[in-house]
Amino acid sequence: MVSMSLLDTRDRPLRDLRISVTDRCNFRCRYCMPREVFGPDYAFLNRAEILTYEEIVRLARVFVELGVEKIRLTGGEPLVRRGLDELIGQLSGIEGLRDLTLTTNGSLLRAQAPRLKAAGLTRITISLDSMDEAVFQRMNDAGVSVATVLDGIDAAAEAGLQPIKINAVVQKGVNDHTIVDLARHFRGSGHIVRFIEFMDVGSTNGWRMNDVVTAREIVERVGAEFPLEPAEANYRGEVAQRWRYTDGGGEIGVIASISQPFCGDCTRARLSAEGELYTCLFASKGQDFRALLRGGASDEELREAVARVWRVRDDRYSEIRTEETAGLRKVEMSHIGG
């Protein structure tokens, strides 16, 4: 019997599971799914290759039995997969699961937010990289407007999917000149903008260290306009550093994987849509659980298999990152979610 206190080689518990339900997306964000790679001829996973909702729920139950408290649904774009509310309904019934959230580009939320909330989704993270129409369209490369995503954010708020976090990847020379506008737009709204340092995820986004605007620079720029003070983390392993507006206008977050790595507290595992288990966002290889599921493995065997992977985990990519490691072949973020 696998004990609940499952730790990896750096004494990090397994607390968070990110589940990618599809490798497809209706956006082509340059830093994640550049169109020249993910074009019309790209071989996305077909229906038989991706895990069914029943298989996802069975695996999720095993992870919760091993200590997972929070599940985040991701993609690609999770809302492009049909019947997602059914999956959410089943996951939200898992005993011991404390938090069920989702990351989306927001473009399909107006139609789906009430169903997701009714099914049991607790909160949501929506990506919006800029309020500047031309900049945003250049970044998402799919002709989707800022207004469409803002309407999705409103739909999520109306449905009660609060608090809402807004993720913005900051790239030097692309959208960094618009970050203060983004902060200004959401100040006082209760929504929390989290600025993310541009990362060398996958092997297709042309990442260079020179294109990174560090967390310190981001805080300085926003703070110059709206004074900020550091705020306590909500829990150990929280990814974003919290900064509160000194005038009570709310807070922002910064995710500093490049300049201030946080691997020491990383409690996250990632499951790809075809059932590969990854123990780091920057991994190059995963462990196949689809074969186990479809090969008749018992729940105990699945628990043992997850525990075997986690016990030998020693990932700390962000602590050892160099311009050279950035060029290594790594799993694409659109394959395992951010």
**Residues forming the site for ligand SF4 (CB under 6 A):** 257, 262-263, 266, 268, 280-282, 315-318
Number of other residues whose CB lies within 10 A of the CB of residue 285:
10
Residue 282 beta carbon to ligand SF4: minimum distance, rounded to whole angstroms: 5
Q: If residue 254 lies in a helix (H) or strand (E), which one and from where to where?
A: strand 251-255
Nearest to 138, CA basis, from 23, 35, 24: 35
Residue 12 beta carbon to ligand SF4: minimum distance, rounded to whole angstroms: 8
Which is nearer to ligand SF4, 268 or 335 (by Cβ)?
268
Which is nearer to ligand SF4, 53 or 317 (by Cβ)?
317
**Could you give the CA distance from residue 188 to residue 113 in angstroms, rounded to a whole number?**
22
Asked if 283 contacts 331 with a C-beta cutoff of 8 angstroms, the reply is yes
List beta partners, residue 164. Answer: 124
Residue 313 beta carbon to ligand SF4: minimum distance, rounded to whole angstroms: 8
Asked if 60 contacts 19 with a C-beta cutoff of 8 angstroms, the reply is yes
Nearest to 31, CA basis, from 147, 152, 174, 131: 174
Which is nearer to ligand SF4, 15 or 268 (by Cβ)?
268
Residue 268 beta carbon to ligand SF4: minimum distance, rounded to whole angstroms: 6
Which is nearer to ligand SF4, 102 or 266 (by Cβ)?
266
**For the chain, what is the radius of gyration of the CA atoms?**
19
Which is nearer to ligand SF4, 189 or 203 (by Cβ)?
203
Residue 7 beta carbon to ligand SF4: minimum distance, rounded to whole angstroms: 14
